[in-house]
Amino acid sequence: MVLRKQGVKVAASLLALTMAFGSASYATSEPANGKSGYSQDQKVVARVDAERAIEHVRYLSEEIGPRPGGLHAEKESAEYIANVLKSYGYEVEYQYFPVADQYIADVAFADGTSWQMAAAPNGKVSKEAVSGEVLFVEGGTNLADFPADTAGKIVVMPRASSTAAYRTQVDNAVQAGAAGVILQSLVGSRGNYGQTFNPNLAAPVDIPVFGAAYIQGEWLKEKLAEGPVEISLSSEQFSDLESVNVIATKAPKQKNKDTKEVILGAHHDSVVGAPGANDNASGVGLMLELARVYKGYNTDKELKFIAFGSEERGLLGARYYVDQLTQEQRDNIEAVFVPDMVATNYGPAKNLYAMTSNGSNNIVTDSTVAAGARLGNSDILPGKFGSSDHVPFHNAGIPAALFIWMGIDSWDPLVYHIEKVYHTPQDTIEDNISPERMKSALDIIGAGLFDVVRKDVPALNK
Ligand code: BES
Ligand code: ZN
């Protein structure tokens, strides 16, 4: 049954690929250097192990947890990645860069559990905890929405849709005597459940005001249905922060002045409050697993494995990396592969897209689409999307592409589907990771990238 289904998929995909990529420079069968493309692919496909990649996802998302750019957890993540790469025999360096302050909230429960949220910089920011019983208030833009016994309680409200309106919610809560406010996120613009956020309060208030993810508000409601819930709110402003890129290098078999460089880079930070299993421990796990497999092979190009910091804060790590390069170094980079969200289990995200910022094909999209065709894997499709670390490379004229599982309705390319738990506390292995999707991404990206780096440097053939 499964086999038959796959057979149908393969046939359809080969047809589509011939149509779309009839003139692509990357051959779908025999490469010019005479090595069999398929047997080269097998050097990667037969060795990559999705479970090993997911073990990295587990460490990053469960052992460490949320990894906001510039904070200690992001340093732990960098150290973990560096240690894994060193254990495979790579030279590893750290590249530090400054990032803006973070305002991090902690919501602690009597049983010892605690949730990370974002704190309003203009609310009370203090490590000294404010405790109280949770009160869920629907509305809140009218003072009459608050019950008579609001004083001393921690008011949770679904955040009103404008900054002015949620400011009114906060002011009313203060007037009703609330000890703290938690605003629950709305459903996000990408159809996701909505992430934690720093409530943007123009004028200060002297109680803590936190921004919760939608699901955290729902969980609080569920707990309240069982009986009173007591929580403690504390928060901290983190200043003078540095974020970090981790860079490992695989030297080429032989180096001459024409030796090109190829990068496989994935961001290792996450948004506040999210364990970031798919976004983007998955991309890091894939990168580390490919680093393990490639170590055993000679390659003709310099290959760099980079874990970028602070992507979620504005693609900062990749931007910094590109900014530090000379024009000559930029010109020498042949391709940048950026896996970001490569293992979701969300059904409608049914294709692995190789996305460029402007939608045109390049060596990264061509090599991976061709690898998919050789492997009979129809998951991969080319596409157009920004929003990740490939953008700064593209802007500097360097061929780059993002790899992400998504569903795009062919009749409406403006509508795309990604997992609803994107950027939320539910971006966990349990709720959002598929070993099959991880394996497919490892195969396609692994074989496509291998095809690019193992190829003979033309100058050496002369
Ligand atoms: N992994 C996402 C990128 C993404 C998400 C691409 C959904 C396509 C669909 C990435 O980590 C992210 O969230 N990026 C930020 C970029 C911003 C901070 C410049 C985003 O898109 O909000
Ligand atoms: Zn991401």
Q: Nearest residue CA, atom 16 of ligand 1?
A: 387
CB-side exposure of 386: number of CA atoms within 13 Å?
8
Q: Is the pLDDT of residue 211 over 80?
A: yes
* CA of 459 relative to ligand 2 center, distance in Å: 37
* CA of 85 relative to ligand 2 center, distance in Å: 21
For residues 31 and 222, what is the distance between their CA atoms, to the nearest angstrom? 59
For residues 181 and 173, what is the distance between their CA atoms, to the nearest angstrom? 7
**What does the pLDDT look like over 31-62, one tens digit per residue?**
544 457 889 999 999 999 999 999 999 999 99
Nearest Cα to Cα of residue 141 among 163, 109, 111, 120: 163
315 lines ligand 1 (CB under 6 A): yes
Q: What is the mean pLDDT of the chain?
A: 91
Residue 442: which H helix or E strand, with range? helix 435-454
Ion ligand 2: protein residues whose beta carbon lies under 5 Å: 279-280, 340
pLDDT computed for residue 393 by the predictor: 99
**What does the pLDDT look like over 136-153, one tens digit per residue?**
999 999 999 999 999 999
Q: Is the pLDDT of residue 108 over 70?
A: yes
Tokens of residue 275, six digits: 């364990």
**What does the pLDDT look like over 428-457, one tens digit per residue?**
999 999 999 999 999 999 999 999 999 664
For residues 219 and 225, what is the distance between their CA atoms, to the nearest angstrom? 10
Nearest atom, ligand 1, residue 385 CA: 8
Q: Nearest residue CA, atom 11 of ligand 1?
A: 312
312 lines ligand 1 (CB under 6 A): yes
311 lines ligand 1 (CB under 6 A): yes
Q: Nearest residue CA, atom 19 of ligand 1?
A: 314
Q: What is the mean pLDDT of residues 326-354?
A: 98
Q: What is the mean pLDDT of residues 395-418?
A: 92
* CA of 59 relative to ligand 2 center, distance in Å: 17
* CA of 388 relative to ligand 2 center, distance in Å: 6
Which residues are bridge partners to 108 per DSSP? 114, 232
391 lines ligand 1 (CB under 6 A): no
Nearest atom, ligand 1, residue 313 CA: 18
pLDDT computed for residue 12 by the predictor: 30
For residues 431 and 333, what is the distance between their CA atoms, to the nearest angstrom? 37
Nearest Cα to Cα of residue 310 among 247, 244, 248: 244
Q: pLDDT grade, residue 134 (50/70/90)?
A: very high
77-85 contact pairs (CB < 8 A, 24+): 77/268, 77/269, 77/284, 77/307, 78/244, 78/246, 78/268, 78/307, 78/309, 81/246, 81/268, 81/284, 81/288, 81/307, 82/246, 82/248, 84/56, 84/288, 84/291, 85/246, 85/248, 85/288, 85/291, 85/305
**What does the pLDDT look like over 1-37, one tens digit per residue?**
222 222 222 223 332 333 333 334 554 555 544 457 8
pLDDT computed for residue 188 by the predictor: 80
Taking the CA of 310 as reference, the closest ligand is 1
pLDDT computed for residue 413 by the predictor: 72
Is-contact 444 24, C-beta < 8 A? no
- Write the DSSP string, 8-19: HHHHHHHHHHHH
**What does the pLDDT look like over 64-104, one tens digit per residue?**
999 999 999 999 999 999 999 999 999 999 999 999 999 99
pLDDT computed for residue 414 by the predictor: 76
340 lines ligand 1 (CB under 6 A): yes
Secondary structure of 325-336 as H, E, C letters: CCHHHHHCEEEE
Nearest atom, ligand 1, residue 391 CA: 19
266 lines ligand 1 (CB under 6 A): no
Q: Nearest residue CA, atom 10 of ligand 1?
A: 388
* CA of 211 relative to ligand 2 center, distance in Å: 20
The residues, ordered by sequence, that sit 6+ positions from 443 with a Cβ below 8 Å of its Cβ are 41, 44, 45, 48, 371, 375, 377
**Structural domains in the chain?**
14-100+240-460 (3.40.630.10), 102-237 (3.50.30.30)
* CA of 423 relative to ligand 1 center, distance in Å: 9
Q: Nearest residue CA, atom 8 of ligand 1?
A: 387
